[in-house]
Amino acid sequence: MAMKNRLAKLYHSRKFYFVLAALVIVALLPLVIGRDYIISEVLTPIIIFAIYASSWNLLAYSGQGSLGHAAFLGIGGFVSALIARSSGFPPLAALLVGSLFSALIGFFIGLTCVRLKAWFLAMVTFGFSVIIGTLFSQFDAVTQAVQGFPTPLIAPRGLPFFYMSFAIAAVSILSIYLVMKSKMGLAFKAIRENELEAKMIGINTAKYRLLAFVLSTFFAGLAGGLYAQSIRYIQLEIFSPYHSFQPLMMSVIGGLSTIEGPIMGSAIIVLIDSYLYGVDPFLQTSLGPLFPAVSNVGPYLRYLGIGLFLIVVVIFAPRGVTSFFHRLYNFIRTRLKGTTPEPRKEPKPSLTTRMRSFIRRQFRGAKPK
Amino acid sequence: MFTLSGLAETLLWGVATGCIYILLATGLNIIFGVMKLVNFAHGELLVIGAFIAYTSSTVAGMNAYVSILVAIVAVALIGIAVERLTFRKVLGTEKLNEIFVSLGLIYVLQNAAVLVWGEKSKQIVSPVQSLSLPLGDISVRYDLISAVIIVAAILIFLMLFMKKTKMGLAMRATSQKSDASMLMGINIERVYIFTFALGAALAGAAGALFGILFPFNYLSGGLPTIKAFAIIILGGLGSIRGAVVGGLLYGIAEETAGFFLGGIWKDAIAFALLIAVLIVRPTGIFGEKGE
């Protein structure tokens, strides 16, 4: 019932039309661009990684930062590809089974993580991704992970696969949005802000943290299944730490704990990663002589750029790149309406908060307890 | 093939890798203890230390063991720059921000290292490279023995420093309660800079020793960092002695697991150990409540 009300409210809001416009634009994008390389190497990955980053973001929404999400990307990818390959299962159903399996493993890993905080959690999740990668390579007879194998396709590459990923992504991200806005999402938020206080209010923190884990790993597995298809050939490489850091970078650069942040971040990172590939020859001819030690400076310079970008965003725009768009939108709106912007209602800080920020300003970084 | 001498040799290599982990973990531990800062990019400092020692020993023709000093000084300076330019800005804001910044630093430092020094694996040539001490069935490389001695010397020096000097006292006070020590007149800003430089210097020393014992490339820093964290968790926060015990245990456990189960299990077993410990005690073996 509550869900229905929320949908009804969504239908009448400005946001709804905004989202609809965005969906239409994204759906038309490949038709406008029309180049095969761009569709299957840039646009499709952006969509798939938007699911992946959103799944990570949902977990972070409940205050749990994972450094091992590649485990679930890999489980989803391998399980769905293996099932689809061996039994002639319809690949779409295999995708679902892969995600469910990923959520199941996520449940057990989540069980071990519910009591852990901040960087202990980061360590343990990272450890699990290494362990799961090792298990997959150890049981090579079943998984064929060491050699890798070509993944069976749900839809032909190019436009059909793009639209299928697009539909799945739209449904997934809408579900994540609804979860965030539901009572469950409120519990996640309370846990993120202050776990002890959340417990005192009466939130079963262990249950909700576990729920966040299961939901997040489900969508990560889904993204993994699609990713395995988009790269055509699945290998152990899917478990690499790079894939664990990816959703984190995307969410942080785009804007943590927002729904549009991970999507924006995914677009930015994939563009730097795949689209700017074309810049490499230029970088090599212009900057290559400066670095004689490497034969192709392009990729390294691009990754260096990603790292710098991440640091700059965290320091100067902790709410991500999308916060600029929000500001721009508000600016334009007030200009069009010709009214002065309403001052943003901020909760009056209590004396201790004010004192804290005062002390922090005075001593620059001495961390208040 | 199981042989007793094979096992003994494995244990020795466990001690050697353990020594390097100890230096790295001690540096991380000091930084974490004093600044409450988690630096996942610590291993990149190790790699840069190894590269600097490599350059000063091959290009400038220095003795490999002298080049350790160069690496220590250079990496300490890099550490100061890193602390001033990045971590300083997010200290005291949200806890996760530090993790994000250090992940960004991994990318920056790793790719900077590869641009300067290239992709190929390198090893520092020490003057006693091919010599080893025969002990019954097995023979021990002199480099291994000297690495153990150097690590022991550094650790003893460090313990004395923390106990006997004014700066050491200030660091210990800050690690217990930063605001109280600020009120006592300690210049926390300076303590933080010094702490980070010290931690980075230890990583530099670890890197130079790593480069003498093992071949390395620009990607070598990632796993040692994670392992150093595991050691801190095993050995306890803020305790140098704990890091020594944890580091040796970890290095030996890892090499033995590799010996009995095959190389690919090395990392997985180590993490399994860590996870098992954390399930029983979510804040580590000697961990305090709260943090």
> ipTM value of the model?
0.84
B11 versus B282: the higher-pLDDT residue is B11
Cα–Cα distances in Å, from A362 out to A355, A366, B144, B182? Answer: 10, 9, 49, 12
- Are residues A109 and B249 in contact, defined by beta-carbon separation less than 8 angstroms? no
Q: Residue range A149-167: average pLDDT?
A: 83
Contact B97 A314 (CB under 8 A): yes
pLDDT tens for each residue of B187-202: 888 889 999 999 999 9
- Non-local (6+) Cβ contacts of A321 within 8 A are A253, A254, A255, A261, A264, A265, A268, A313
Going by pLDDT thresholds of 50, 70 and 90, the confidence category of residue B1 is low
Tens-place pLDDT, residues B211-264: 888 888 888 887 788 788 878 877 776 677 778 888 887 888 777 777 777 767
How close B129 gets to chain A, by Cα (Å)? 26
The tens digit of pLDDT for each residue in A90-144 reads 878 888 999 999 999 999 998 888 888 777 888 888 888 888 988 888 887 777 7
Q: What is the pLDDT of residues B56-69, one digit of tens each?
A: 888 877 787 888 89
pTM: 0.83
pLDDT in tens, A68-87: 899 999 999 999 888 888 77
Nearest-CA distance A289 → chain B (Å): 11
pLDDT tens digits, A238-275: 888 888 888 998 999 888 888 888 999 999 888 888 77
Residues 6+ apart with CB under 8 A from A156: none
pLDDT in the model for residue A349: 44
* Partner-chain contact A367 B91, CB within 8 Å: yes
For chain A, which residues make up each domain, given as ranges? 26-240, 274-369
Each residue's pLDDT tens digit, A178-221:
998 888 888 888 888 888 888 887 788 888 999 999 999 999 99
Q: What pLDDT band is residue B146 in, cutting at 50, 70 and 90?
A: confident
| Predicted pLDDT of residue A54 | 93
Q: Are B104 and A314 inside 8 Å of each other by CB?
A: yes
Nearest-angstrom CA–CA distance, A35 and A162? 13
- The answer to whether residues A334 and A341 touch, using CB atoms and an 8 Å cutoff, is yes
| CB of B180 less than 8 A from some CB of A | no
For chain B, give the mean pLDDT: 82
Residues of B in contact with A315 (CB under 8 A): 86, 89-90, 101
Q: Does B264 touch chain A (CB under 8 A)?
A: yes
Task: Answer yes or no: is pLDDT of A346 > 70.
Answer: no
What SS3 class is residue B132? strand
Q: Identify which has the larger pLDDT, B288 or A169.
A: A169
- The whole-number pLDDT of residue A260 equals 86
